[in-house]
Amino acid sequence: MKAHLLLVIMALSASLAMAQTSECASRGGACRASAKKGCVRLQGKCENDQVCCQKADRLEKRECRQKRRCTNQGGKCIPQEESCLKARDDLCKGASCKCCLGGGELCADGTVLSDECEGAKCACCIPKTGPCECGVANDVRIIGGEEISPPNKYPWFIGLLQPEIFGNEFFCGGSIISPNYVLTAAHCLLGDDSLPSKAKKFQVGIANHNFNSEDDDIPGVTRAVDVKSYVIHEDYVPQDFNDNNNDIALLLLKETLDLTSYPQVRPVCLPSDPNRRYEGQKGTVVGWGDTKDGKGAYPDAAREVDVPIKDCKRKVAGVTITPQMMCAGRKKSKNKGAKGACFGDSGGPLFVKEGGKYTQVGIVSFGGSCLKPAVFARVSEFLTWISDNTPGETFCQ
């Protein structure tokens, strides 16, 4: 009799446990020993102080744990329902899981080619491309300035190289304006005899913040690109240093630049209105030029400075100012230091921010002293010339 009663009690207990488990299961859950991390609590009852956790969470936790075959390819096991730009179903355990090889933190929403790199733990990340936009910045300096931060903040800014003479040091600046062309100053291309040098002597440093360090270099992006040819404004007179008018040149690169895949390589915008004047506004000048007014203090890293754009005097350094020129900078005073371009900054851009984008309005040309405002070629005066000398070129908007 006692044995029969014990069997009845055990049967009732089992039935109660099954009922509680069924109640949890009916709510899409599973009974677990405790509410560990990852448990989504449900209202279903469980026996022996167990808790009812959302079953899908438990299965996902178990089935999508990381597998070496996936991680060796640089991937991560995730549920099938999660979005991923490129995935493989054979590298993770569980039918509801997949190995994500691109997207999110793994590849900055790019595409991964798992068989394009050497090494079991390597994968090739191809950044996602987007529309080509100009004047988008990536949020030490010239006279009165400081080092550009972060590096490649202004992705259109380039350094001009002449390896035979200056080695790996940039001697002039310039700016990317389209996939094939760079804008710079005409006088940067002259030799010691004041005559234009051959194009093959020049290179353009792309995405190179510090020419004496590789710490900020971007693999596959930071490099020197050869110049195929160039054109100097037909009215620029190289031998006449009392003129300096039309100090502008276009460099045609041997390599077409990718202006959509990498934020460190982007073009600057050109003025849309040829009649607009920028006097009274604040502009920015960037360069690797002298920071000590002709004393040879050339920085390794690019520097920037904000300068007021102002009306020019009738003459600067003995040169008559023309409508094709503009002035910017602040001269040294008792209370304020000088701010502006100096030796080595030639060819670099002067740009202003318009509607959230940067527009290049000037090219560093010349000046009487680094402690006084410098003279720039006024870009808006050369828009037709730029268009005529870049046939068939596409410009980003």
**Between residues 131 and 357, which one has the greater pLDDT?**
357
Q: What is the pLDDT of residue 298?
A: 60
Q: Would 50 be classed as within a structural domain?
A: no
Same structural domain, 322 and 214: no
Q: What is the pLDDT of residue 150?
A: 78
Q: Would 54 be classed as within a structural domain?
A: no
**Structural domains in the chain (count):** 3
Same structural domain, 155 and 244: yes
Banded model confidence at residue 147, pLDDT cuts 50, 70, 90: low
* Alpha-carbon gap, residue 211 to 173, rounded angstroms: 13
Average pLDDT, the chain: 79
Same structural domain, 217 and 305: no
Q: Would 185 be classed as within a structural domain?
A: yes
Q: Would 48 be classed as within a structural domain?
A: no
**Between residues 318 and 84, which one has the greater pLDDT?**
318
Give me the percent of the chain exceeding a pLDDT of 70. 70
Same structural domain, 155 and 223: yes
Q: What is the pLDDT of residue 59?
A: 40
Same structural domain, 118 and 179: no
The pLDDT of 377-385, averaged and rounded, is: 97
Whether this prediction's pTM lies above 0.75 is answered by no
Same structural domain, 299 and 228: no
Same structural domain, 255 and 301: no
Banded model confidence at residue 371, pLDDT cuts 50, 70, 90: low
Q: Which domain holds residue 97?
A: 70-126
* Alpha-carbon gap, residue 26 to 249, rounded angstroms: 76
The pLDDT of 27-51, averaged and rounded, is: 70
- The answer on pLDDT for 58 being more than 50 is no
Q: Which of 63-67, 142-146, 204-208, 329-333 has the highest mean pLDDT?
A: 204-208
Q: What is the pLDDT of residue 296?
A: 55
Same structural domain, 160 and 197: yes
Same structural domain, 349 and 372: yes
Q: Which of 150-154, 234-238, 288-292 has the highest mean pLDDT?
A: 234-238
3-state SS of the chain? Answer: CHHHHHHHHHHHHHHHHHHHHHHHHHCCEEEECCCCCCCCECCCCCCCCCEEEEHHHHHHHHHCCCCHHHHCCCCEEEECCCCCCEEECCCCCCCCEEEEEECHHHCCCCEEECCCCCCCCCCEEECCCCCCCCCCCCCCCCECCEECCCCCCCCCEEEEECHHHHCCCCCEEEEECCCCEEEECHHHHECCCCCECCHHHCEEEECCCECCCCCCCCCCCCEEEEEEEEEECCCCCCCCCCCCCCCCEEEEECCCCCCCCCCCCCCCECCCCCCCCCCCCEEEEEECCCCCCCCCCCCCECEEEEEEEECCCCEECCEECCCCEEEECECCCCCCCCEECCCCCCCCEEEEEECCEEEEEEEEEECCCCCCCEEEEEHHHHHHHHHHCCCCCCCCC
The pLDDT of 128-135, averaged and rounded, is: 80
Q: 63-113, pLDDT tens digit by residue?
A: 577 777 777 666 778 887 776 656 777 778 777 788 877 654 455 455 565
The pLDDT of 221-231, averaged and rounded, is: 96
Q: Would 356 be classed as within a structural domain?
A: yes
Give me the percent of the chain exceeding a pLDDT of 90. 40
Same structural domain, 154 and 263: yes
Q: Would 188 be classed as within a structural domain?
A: yes
Q: Would 13 be classed as within a structural domain?
A: no
Q: Would 308 be classed as within a structural domain?
A: yes
Same structural domain, 114 and 89: yes
Same structural domain, 252 and 313: no
Catalytic residue numbers read 187, 247, 346
The answer to which of 210-219, 270-279, 309-318, 330-339 has the lowest mean pLDDT is: 330-339
Q: What is the pLDDT of residue 127?
A: 58
Q: 173-205, pLDDT tens digit by residue?
A: 999 999 999 999 999 999 988 899 999 999 999
Count CB atoms within 10 A of the CB of residue 344: 24
The pLDDT of 344-364, averaged and rounded, is: 93
* Alpha-carbon gap, residue 181 to 191, rounded angstroms: 22
- The CATH number covering residue 370 comes to 2.40.10.10
Contact present, 307 and 370 (Cβ < 8 Å): no
